[in-house]
Amino acid sequence: MTNVLKLMITAALLATTANVAMAGGAKIFVVGGKADDPFWSIVKRGAEDAGKVVGAEGGKVVWLAPQNYDNLGVDAAELIRQAIDQKADAIVAPDWVPAAMDPAFKAVKAAGIPFIVYNAGGIQAADRLGAMNYVGAVDYRAGVAAGDYLGKAGHKNGVCVNSLPGAANIEDYCKGFAEGISKAGGKSDVLPLPATAEGNVTAVAQAVRAYLLQHADVDAIMATANLDAVGIVQGVAQAGKAGKAHLCGINFDQAILAQISAGTQDCAIDQQGYQQGFYAVSILNGYVNYGLSIPTREILTGPGIVDNSNIKSTMVGAKEGTR
């Protein structure tokens, strides 16, 4: 019993001293999407890579994320407040749901903590809340880019597949898609999937197939999640619409790039999540330690379009988990 006790006491002491040694640099808290989200794991990777510099200068990067997207605005607002509670030196957070999260951002401002808005909200949010910069694409504009791309290519009858109805970021993709395709002279609809289809790529494939069979003139589809894009390609093929229904998706990974190469997917919208995490953390680290800043307040990382014409260079990054 005494040996175990000694071991526990030593461990506790080591833990506390470890904390003390870190007290030199900047403690940067980053609020992001859930850890098993393909896009957000790339953002986290960018933040962590920038965190290597932060750590070398004696600080650390702490990643805060909700468990799921059931209550996005509320959970994110709570995480921002938690960062304040933990005496953050700097905070990075997205403005997904302004109504819910603006008060939390205002609390950050009132506490005198420098912060950057990233990923959602745009420069308008940064201006309204008094953030240093805005780094990122805007989900809405990513949807617009997809709708625009497909509409301009002549596919004017669109549907946006939403496998997570309710989450603000996914809803923005679909709304943006509607605007993008209508500006190019087309129209669009939304296909929401019931909760019984969550996390099931076969259900997405079969739902899209059924939808295409019943709506024969749909020729533009938008995918809002990585696995959905893979499922939709199968659904399109099984509905006999391969080559007639064109797909554009948000984000990409190796599977999606393979689809673009093979011609079964037309494009993917690149928000360069890695850059969002990397630059937001780097800018704040420079500011906290040395008072540096970037006067160009809006730093857009997207939306970029990846299609057959520029796919080669992205494949390396996708393999590494940075794109």
Q: Give the whole-angstrom CA distance, residue 111 versus residue 237.
A: 55
Q: Shortest Cβ distance from residue 127 to another protein (Å)?
A: 20
Written as one string, the DSSP assignment of 241-270 is: -TTTSEEEEES--HHHHHHHHHTS--EEEE
Applying CB under 8 A, the span of 81-89, 135-143, 284-292, 302-310 interacting with another protein comes to: 81-89
Out of 25, 26, 28, 37, name the contact with another protein by CB under 8 A.
37
Q: Which stretch binds another protein (CB under 8 A): 127-135, 144-152, 160-168, 306-314?
A: 160-168
Hey, is 56 helix, strand or coil? helix
In angstroms, rounded to a whole number, what is the distance separating the alpha carbons of residues 213 and 210?
Answer: 5
17 by Cβ neighbours in 10 Å (0-12 / 13-18 / 19+) ranks as exposed
What residues from 97 to 156 belong to the interface with another protein (CB under 8 A)?
A: 97, 99-100, 103, 107
As to burial, measured by CB atoms within 10 angstroms (0-12 exposed, 13-18 middle, 19+ buried), residue 266 is buried
- Minimal distance in Å, beta carbon 131 to another protein? 20
* Residue 62 or 294 having the CB closest to another protein: 62
> What's the N-to-C CA distance of the chain in angstroms?
51
d(CA 54, CA 39): 23
Q: Is 63 helix (H, G, I), strand (E, B) or coil?
A: strand
What is the C-alpha to C-alpha distance for residues 312 and 323, in angstroms, rounded to an integer?
13
**Site stretch for another protein (CB under 8 A), options 112-120, 211-219, 287-295, 304-312:** 211-219
Nearer to another protein, 93 or 299 (CB): 93
Question: Per CB under 8 A, does 261 bind another protein?
Answer: no
Task: Count the residues of the shown chain that bind another protein, applying the rule CB under 8 A.
Answer: 84
- The DSSP line for 109-127 is HHTT--EEEESSSHHHHHH
β-strand partners of 269 = 250, 305
Chain centroid to Cα 155, Å, comes to: 27
Interface residue with another protein, options 60, 128, 152, 297 (CB under 8 A)? 60
The whole-angstrom distance between residue 174's C-alpha and the CA centroid of its chain comes to 15
Query: Binding string, 241-260, against another protein, x = CB under 8 A?
Result: ------------xxx--x--
Please select the residue that binds another protein; options are 50, 54, 72, 184, rule is CB under 8 A: 72
Segment 216 to 235, residues that bind another protein, using CB under 8 A: 226-227, 230-231, 234
Give the one residue of 57, 58, 62, 152 binding another protein; rule: CB under 8 A. Answer: 62
Nearest distance from C-beta of residue 40 to another protein, angstroms: 8
Cβ 208 to another protein shortest distance, Å: 8
CB closer to another protein, 199 vs 243: 199
> Out of 210, 244, 293, 294, which residue is the one contacting another protein (CB under 8 A)?
210
Among 192, 286, 293, 307, binds another protein (CB under 8 A): 192
